[in-house]
Chain A
């Protein structure tokens, strides 16, 4: 116990020294030979699946590209290579907090990249704010970004919130109803965990406002593997649209079990996992017509080039939702460092106010948030294309009703 408190004392002493050094305007950039960038993501544990598809390959791709070009450019035109400090948060929020603290006080990295997951980004936000690091939360869906941006001015929320995606889906369904291909009745199931709760809470009012009628509204516990009771209930209801706010394992299971149940609603919408490249790999032709969050604009050359580079580097294409947002966040950070140097406050101010050319196009944050989002996508001919908002350039037309399962 004594050891522990001594260690704590030493740590706080170290932190004090660091803060004091920062306050006296001491700058080591003159002697710096590299830029230290640290992150903690889930390499193991329950979140490793999502983090391993969305976050990790993009961080590694970006670092390898930047270093291949000689490093990060600074305002004076010099380049310094990135030195990475990588930790595994083991899918535990206590661990991610500990790792961030370590990155800030012991490793004294120049910048910290955000962890994967909504809860994890909320867990580290106060800490990053206290240590003065900008936070580009790119794998975190939250409706409270306005509030967070006010509380932690250096935090940036890039993936939108449940209300955005539920509202987008309501528009898609209302359009399909108006055109007569579905009857306005919707069956919804949602996982009783962060993402599912957020989305269903946003969907209930959004669907009602769009004149849709929720005829089935069920929640299920995380880890459910047998969806046949819920699918049977949806099949025997009057619903012509099936919506699941699900996590990846559920998303894959629902696809397979809907085929077994021979359930063919006009709209089949699933949650996290459907835009993954592995979803297409596992389902092939049966992915056609399935809808989910996100989507890509195939006419955007920069985006398609990024997807090709990602595939060459990581051995698989990126997912079609949060991957590109993650990469764009890194591009924003890179450009902000080029304009403002290694001063973290100046970089944060630049991220908040600047305009950046990213793979998403011309990108500018509004109130610390990325608002130009693709809200709904659909698998069409092996590509997960963006279909909503319909008035945004690059949107594809939705195909409704979905073709029946091919078995």
Chain B
């Protein structure tokens, strides 16, 4: 029972972490609070669904198509929509508010496009939905895959940020956007890359979610909210923080559901969120200072 709860919780948390890591890149490094984040997660889920049902392409192969496309979308979107905001705000600190307002509008645009394209229906398909026995706990293979992917992507990105020159530049932008240009870093380019990378993670999360969850065009906000909580808990712009916070949230939800009452999962989520913020106002791992 305890082992089952532990494994289920980690696997649930893996999905949360995967979705949240993209948002933490966009918010922490590009300084764009992307309220339309959840919509892009859902959009990718729809893409995976269409590829699978209409063309018989498995979601995993579909990733090879969807993820590069997501990168391009993010790259273009930043150039067209966010860059003017960044330029305009200069040093006034208006970027946060501007970005929230702009992406709030974008959220409805993307949602509208999805409603027109895919309709309002609940959508789901079945892929890799069989139990895998891990230490006596039966875990859905697709969820397990999401967990593995979260850990691999999270770990790989962490290594890149911590060990490479390029990663160091990105961290520099996150920590000191004003000073980074002084050492020859193209802040704008880095922010743009981080934003596009965030979009890739959103798409990866969406494709994983589409394998085992029913979704519709209006559900983006659910994922955006969860991701936001995890980003704030983990520390703004901190990948490792998002990974740990995501896993923690999954564990808390599963343990509360197993040992106390499933009705209290939501309350527990917010309770732990508040507790973390009271104890460490800038999140578990501080503020983007270290990857």
Residues of A within 8 A of B (CB): 42-46, 48-49, 51-53, 56, 91, 189, 192, 218-221, 223-226, 228-230, 232-233, 248-249, 251-253, 256-257, 259-262, 273, 276, 278, 282-284, 407
Q: Which of B112, B217, B265 contacts A221 (CB 8 A)?
A: B265
Contact across chains for B129 and A256 when beta carbons are under 8 A apart: yes
Contact across chains for B115 and A44 when beta carbons are under 8 A apart: yes
Contact across chains for A43 and B120 when beta carbons are under 8 A apart: yes
Residues on the B chain within 8 Å of A226, using CB:
8, 12, 253-254, 257
15 additional contacts, CB 8 Å, given A48-B115, A52-B119, A252-B122?
Answer: A43-B120, A44-B115, A49-B218, A91-B218, A220-B257, A226-B12, A229-B5, A229-B258, A249-B122, A251-B214, A257-B140, A260-B130, A278-B121, A278-B124, A407-B129
Docked complex Cα distance between A219 and B266 (Å): 12
Docked complex Cα distance between A52 and B119 (Å): 8
Please give the distance in Å from A85's CB to the nearest CB on chain B: 20
Contact across chains for B265 and A218 when beta carbons are under 8 A apart: no
Contact across chains for A224 and B262 when beta carbons are under 8 A apart: yes
B138, CB-defined interface residue at 8 Å? yes
Contact across chains for A262 and B138 when beta carbons are under 8 A apart: yes
Residues on the A chain within 8 Å of B93, using CB:
none
- Using an 8 Å CB-CB cutoff, how does the interface string of B151-163 with A read, 1 for contact, 0 for none? 0000000000000
B58, CB-defined interface residue at 8 Å? no
Please give the distance in Å from A273's CB to the nearest CB on chain B: 7
Residues on the A chain within 8 Å of B12, using CB:
225-226
Interface centre among B5, B121, B131, by most chain A C-beta atoms within 10 angstroms, is: B121
Docked complex Cα distance between A256 and B124 (Å): 10
The 6 closest A-B CB pairs, nearest first, are A52-B120, A48-B120, A252-B214, A229-B257, A220-B262, A221-B266
Residues on the B chain within 8 Å of A284, using CB:
126
Number of interface residues of B (CB under 8 A): 40
Q: Determine the residue in chain B with the shortest Cβ distance to A407.
A: B130
Docked complex Cα distance between A349 and B119 (Å): 37
Residues on the B chain within 8 Å of A283, using CB:
126
Docked complex Cα distance between A235 and B219 (Å): 30
Contact across chains for B218 and A44 when beta carbons are under 8 A apart: yes
Given the interface pairs A53-B121, A233-B258, A260-B130, the reply to whether A48 lies near B265 with Cβ below 8 Å is no
Q: Determine the residue in chain A with the shortest Cβ distance to B5.
A: A229
Sample of 17 A–B contacts (CB below 8 Å): A43-B115, A46-B218, A46-B219, A91-B218, A219-B262, A221-B262, A225-B12, A248-B122, A252-B122, A259-B131, A260-B129, A260-B131, A262-B131, A278-B124, A282-B126, A282-B214, A283-B126
B54, CB-defined interface residue at 8 Å? no
B4, CB-defined interface residue at 8 Å? yes
Residues on the B chain within 8 Å of A261, using CB:
131, 138
Residues on the B chain within 8 Å of A221, using CB:
262-263, 265-266
Docked complex Cα distance between A220 and B257 (Å): 9
Given the interface pairs A48-B115, A226-B12, the reply to whether A259 lies near B263 with Cβ below 8 Å is no
Docked complex Cα distance between A252 and B123 (Å): 9
Contact across chains for A220 and B263 when beta carbons are under 8 A apart: yes
- Using an 8 Å CB-CB cutoff, how does the interface string of B109-151 with A read, 1 for contact, 0 for none? 0011001000111111110011100000011100000000000
Contact across chains for B217 and A256 when beta carbons are under 8 A apart: no
Q: Determine the residue in chain B with the shortest Cβ distance to A219.
A: B263
B178, CB-defined interface residue at 8 Å? no
Given the interface pairs A192-B263, A221-B265, the reply to whether A230 lies near B120 with Cβ below 8 Å is no
Q: Which of A43, A49, A218, A225 contacts B216 (CB 8 A)?
A: A49
Docked complex Cα distance between A260 and B143 (Å): 11
Q: Which of A43, A52, A224 contacts B121 (CB 8 A)?
A: A52
Residues on the A chain within 8 Å of B258, using CB:
229, 232-233
Residues on the B chain within 8 Å of A256, using CB:
126, 129, 140, 212
Q: Determine the residue in chain B with the shortest Cβ distance to A315.
A: B119
Q: Determine the residue in chain A with the shortest Cβ distance to B264.
A: A221
B213, CB-defined interface residue at 8 Å? yes
Docked complex Cα distance between A200 and B122 (Å): 24
Please give the distance in Å from A227's CB to the nearest CB on chain B: 8
Interface residues of B in 256-278 (CB under 8 A from A): 257-258, 261-263, 265-266
Please give the distance in Å from A155's CB to the nearest CB on chain B: 26
B222, CB-defined interface residue at 8 Å? yes
Interface centre among B131, B214, B253, by most chain A C-beta atoms within 10 angstroms, is: B214
Contact across chains for A48 and B262 when beta carbons are under 8 A apart: no
Docked complex Cα distance between A42 and B217 (Å): 12
Residues on the B chain within 8 Å of A56, using CB:
120
Given the interface pairs A48-B120, A256-B126, A278-B124, the reply to whether A248 lies near B214 with Cβ below 8 Å is yes
Residues on the B chain within 8 Å of A44, using CB:
111-112, 115, 120, 217-218
Given the interface pairs A219-B262, A219-B263, the reply to whether A253 lies near B253 with Cβ below 8 Å is no
Q: Determine the residue in chain A with the shortest Cβ distance to B125.
A: A282
Docked complex Cα distance between A46 and B262 (Å): 22
Residues on the A chain within 8 Å of B139, using CB:
260
Docked complex Cα distance between A48 and B122 (Å): 9
Contact across chains for B131 and A48 when beta carbons are under 8 A apart: no
- Using an 8 Å CB-CB cutoff, how does the interface string of B3-18 with A read, 1 for contact, 0 for none? 0110010001000000
